[in-house]
Structure 1
């Protein structure tokens, strides 16, 4: 059985660059340098950026901001932004904040993500921004927090995360 597109049906297309290109630079760039090169367009963004349609990404030592314009394709069945999208923003902000503190040849992975959803986020409700900051950074683990805010600086959700730090084979 084939399905035809109805007038109400929408489509969406997104593109990304082969992630191996970015991964190749991890052994020679510090985490901060890597993310700065990414925001400048000299290192490709990861596919998740186009999948979720991140609007803006800014970096500084120990701090990352990820912005998103909530859209229909982010919605759950109740018409609000799906909690998984919000969790992905929180995880991205926490983990990338940790990444800004790492030397070249060092990677990380999230060990946990503890989230709290405080307000519904609606498609078309305006840009939201997620600010991640490092709380602690050691040789094996780091912790970070993230706050998701609306245009009026109201807290929509927040999270804490622990990351495992490890050497990247180069």
Structure 2
């Protein structure tokens, strides 16, 4: 994944639709969001419009005091997958913001869980709002968390 400090080609994101913007980030032509560097995201992909995938290798720095990955790390991965799934549907000149994020934690995650994979999908995209969901899986393919997010679309 391209880091925000990586040298990027001259691309004007205002001339691209949401899918093209995210593709430019994946290809390193636009910088990644700083949160990707802060948390150490291991990868991002946008396989098609309405879908986004984020990956992270759990580390001890992600732990909470009870000895597992902090729920905020789960939530950030899920929020990123939901939000970027919606982002990938935007037309040139459109923006969005999250209105809510509802997360269900299903299983504890530790460094032994292996690479986490958050898969986001748009469930419904209207003119003014979108509903997305994301599922978070561990390296063995077990569902560890689920989220839904409502987003407001604006010009």
Q: TM-score, normalised by structure 2?
A: 0.91
Unaligned runs of 5+ in 1: 1-14
Determine helix, strand or coil for the equivalent of 1:115. Answer: strand
The partner residue of 1:117 within 105, 121, 124 is 105
The partner residue of 2:14 within 19, 27, 46 is 27
Structure 2: distance between partners of 1:143 and 1:124: 32
Structure 1 partner of 2:55: 67
1:51 correspondence with 2:38? yes
How many residues matched? 150
Moved segments of 4+, more than 4 Å: none
Structure 2 partner of 1:81: 69
Answer yes or no: is the 8 Å Cα contact 1:70–1:126 preserved in 2. Answer: yes
Structure 2: distance between partners of 1:104 and 1:53: 29
- Larger radius of gyration between Structure 1 and Structure 2: 1
How much has 1:44 moved relative to structure 2? 0.4
User: RMSD across aligned C-alpha pairs, in angstroms?
Assistant: 1.8
Structure 2: distance between partners of 1:25 and 1:96: 19
Q: TM-score, normalised by structure 1?
A: 0.83
